[in-house]
Amino acid sequence: MRRQKLRTSILFSLLLLGACAHQNAAAWRGRQPSLKVADVAMQSGAPAMALSVTQEILAKDPANVPALVRQGNALYSLNRTAQAADAYQRALAIEPRDEEALVGLARVRLTDDPGAAERLLRKAVAHDPRNATAQNDLGIACDLQGRHRDAQEAYRRALAASPDLVAAEVNLGLSLALGGRADQGVAMLQPLAAGEGASPRVRQDLAAALVLDGQTDQAERLLGSDLSQAETAEAVMGYAALRP
């Protein structure tokens, strides 16, 4: 059990969540324009400001579902996950099919109960199969449960709906490696990790695939561009624990 928890923790640190889904036009109808301020604050990396905006709106309109969802998003970004879950659950009590609330609550559940997260995400994609964010996160839930083929199908659906969703492409490469096709995972991840503006997180995903493919030396060299020698050794050891 302890090894499984460690494996899940390492894997969750590698998989990339999709960007938050956007509200459709109908959701904006009749809503206060200050919700846009909350969105801008989140996009600018200021979740505390977004939280303050939603609190003002909800004080006057406690049943405002878009505000509850944005409050959940802000709380999640502030690592106040229990409060985020409460905000999403309040939104779902009013609108059980709200996709953003379903995805938000699923993200809270991913680390401690990926099965529960999967059930929430399947509700979201049943309502809108082209919700690329939900499909990507569904793939994560499946990968965390060791069902890599199901995960890969979800990532491919995400990419079919949104070909530019890099998170789904990266996750697909890692999932291939986890599912026994490490050479294919490496081939998919290499151009993404070498691309302009590639993040250390993507390079770490490639390093994990390299370790799973038996190319530990290459993984160490890659990680060395971002991590210290001790951190590199620790990362490689963790990635080795991902082997079935």
Q: What is the three-class DSSP state of 35? A: helix
Residues 6+ apart with CB under 8 A from 58: 64, 67, 68, 71
CB atoms within 10 A of CB 229: 10
Give per-residue pLDDT as tens, 10-63.
999 999 998 764 444 344 344 455 899 999 999 999 999 999 999 999 999 999
Average pLDDT in the 173-197 region? 96
The whole-angstrom distance between residue 124's C-alpha and the CA centroid of its chain comes to 15
Which two tokens mark 159? 């990419």
Long-range CB contacts for residues 170-174, cutoff 8 Å, separation at least 24: 170/16, 170/202, 170/205, 171/15, 171/16, 171/136, 171/139, 171/140, 171/143, 172/139, 173/205, 173/206, 173/209, 174/14, 174/15, 174/143, 174/205, 174/208, 174/209
Please, which pLDDT band fits residue 4 given cuts at 50, 70 and 90? Answer: confident
Task: Please give the model's pTM, rounded to 2 decimal places.
Answer: 0.91
Identify whether the C-beta of residue 209 lies closer than 8 Å to the C-beta of residue 186.
Answer: yes
DSSP 75-112: HHHTT-HHHHHHHHHHHHHH-TT-HHHHHHHHHHHHTT
- pLDDT of res. 244: 76
Q: How far apart are CA 92 and CA 102, in angstroms?
A: 7
- pLDDT of res. 2: 66
Residues making up the chain, counted from first to last: 244
- pLDDT of res. 33: 52
Which two tokens mark 3? 């090894």
Identify whether the C-beta of residue 198 lies closer than 8 Å to the C-beta of residue 192.
Answer: yes
- pLDDT of res. 8: 86
- Comparing 6-10, 117-121, 151-155, which segment has the lowest mean pLDDT? 6-10
